[in-house]
Structure 1
Amino acid sequence: MITIAIRVREIVSSNVDTLVSKAGDQRKMLRLLQSEIEETLITLHGDAAKARRQQARLSDAAARMAEGAESWTEKAKVALDHKREDLARAALLTREAERAKAADAAKDAAALEAQITEAADVIAALEAKRTAIIARIADLAQAEKAAAPVADNPLDKRIDRIDALERRAGFADAPAETPSPTSLDEEIAELQKASAIEAELAALKAGSAPAKKAAGKKR
């Protein structure tokens, strides 16, 4: 039934990583192997379907022949009842021949059943191999995409240019820097010092005013 059994075994036993490492164009090689597996699966599915139909026909034929063979026993009894031993003997010989045919048909049906089971196992193995290859192709594509240089986005470049022009024209505010606690303390201390000086100046001014008035009166 399966005329491509040797090639199927080669495909199933092949190591995908080894094949990839030896290939010049890894994704192309994997796609070719995937295509070959899919063609093989089509053939195997077709062969298995034909084998199932043939196995069903053989099983039915074996059952009919086995039933028909046993009917010759009754015919032999009828012949003996009529004193026809020769006919009875012929009937029994015919029964044995029909039994043999039924056994051969059942044997062929069992052989086909074994081939169908084997084909199902091979199909499952090939489908698993195909799934692994598809995943490997996806991994290679992802790796190539990650390694490829990122193309400049024209929109991003235009936005950057607008930002630069706005900063140059003074439209964009420079980001305010958050002062550190140390600089805040220093600035507040300077303000306090300035306030103290202003207060002292005011006090001095207030103290010098009565002295000026007294000097004026003496004159």
Structure 2
Amino acid sequence: MSIFSRLSDIVNANINTLVARAEDPRKIIRLIIQEMEDTLVEVRSSAVQTIAERKELERRMAQLARDEAEWERKAELALTHNREDLARGALQARTHLAKTREGLRTQHEQIVSGLAQQNDDIAKLQAKLADAKSREQALMSRASIANSRVKLRERLYDERIGDAFGRFEQVERNLDALEGRVESFDLGRRTLEQEIEGLEADSAVETELAAMRARLRKRDEAPSAPAVEGPETTRS
């Protein structure tokens, strides 16, 4: 039975390590996937051939078992006719067939064991292949995003963009200067709203002053309370 040497290399490979070493991760992971797919096809083809060999061995062993039984029947028949020489020859033929069948049985066991190992390797390879394809999709998405970001950064740091932003800043400074000139004409001038607010504030102050004067005048005009005489003044 043929076991491909690169199968175990791929099954045991660390895909992350292979990708990290590659200058172009997309290229190396594509090569890994292609190698896995090719190997999977070859291993399955080999497994089909091995299964056919196993079935052929099983047919031969079954036929040998039938032949053994037939020679044993012939040996018994010879004995019933007092032909020990023929019975001995039949038993020798049966023994030869039994040895041949035992050799085929050992070969059959080896093939069955190899098929089990091969089936395990195929399962591992399929898992690795699915993982690689999943990583390929994620890698393509990351590469696309990274390329878009690089292009955007290149445009942002392009001298023409810098010049354009410099012109914007100059326009803003010119507008600031123009607005400053307009505001300078209004310095020292009070708007109508400001004038009215001033009048309202003056009126409130005058009202409060008038109320304060009234309180003071009322307090001054209030009569003084008469002095109270003490006990010594009464006795005199």
- Shorter-chain TM range is 0.5 to 0.7
- Checking the alignment, whether the CA contact within 8 Å between 1:23 and 1:29 is kept in structure 2 is yes
> What are the superposed Cα offsets for residues 164-210 of structure 1, whole Å, 9 maximum, x if unpaired?
xxxxxxxxxxxxxxxxxxxxxxxxxx9xx9xxxxxxxxxxxxxxxxx
- 1:18-167 alignment, distance < 5 Å: 18-149=17-148
Mapped partners of 2:95, 2:66: distance in 1: 12
Q: Structure 1 counterpart of 2:39, which letter?
A: T
SS in 2 for 1:41: helix
Mapped partners of 2:28, 2:10: distance in 1: 13
Runs (4 or more) in structure 1 with deviation over 6 Å come to none
SS in 2 for 1:119: helix
- Checking the alignment, whether the CA contact within 8 Å between 1:58 and 1:109 is kept in structure 2 is yes
> What are the superposed Cα offsets for residues 112-163 of structure 1, whole Å, 9 maximum, x if unpaired?
11111111111111111111111111111111122233799xxxxxxxxxxx
- Checking the alignment, whether the CA contact within 8 Å between 2:57 and 2:108 is kept in structure 1 is yes
Structure 1 or 2, whichever has the larger Rg, is 2
Offset of residue 3 of structure 1:
4.0
Report what 1:2 is aligned to. Answer: 2
**What is the aligned residue count?**
153
The root-mean-square deviation of aligned C-alpha atoms, in Å, is 1.9
Q: Structure 2 counterpart of 1:2, which letter?
A: S
Mapped partners of 1:10, 1:98: distance in 2: 42
Give the gaps of 5 or more residues in structure 1: 153-189, 194-219
Q: TM-score, normalised by structure 2?
A: 0.61
SS in 2 for 1:83: coil
SS in 2 for 1:14: coil
Mapped partners of 1:115, 1:97: distance in 2: 28
Report what 1:16 is aligned to. Answer: 15
> What are the superposed Cα offsets for residues 38-70 of structure 1, whole Å, 9 maximum, x if unpaired?
111111000100111110111111011012102
- Checking the alignment, whether the CA contact within 8 Å between 1:56 and 1:109 is kept in structure 2 is no
> What are the superposed Cα offsets for residues 95-114 of structure 1, whole Å, 9 maximum, x if unpaired?
11111112222222221111
Give the gaps of 5 or more residues in structure 2: 153-196, 201-236
Mapped partners of 2:11, 2:73: distance in 1: 55
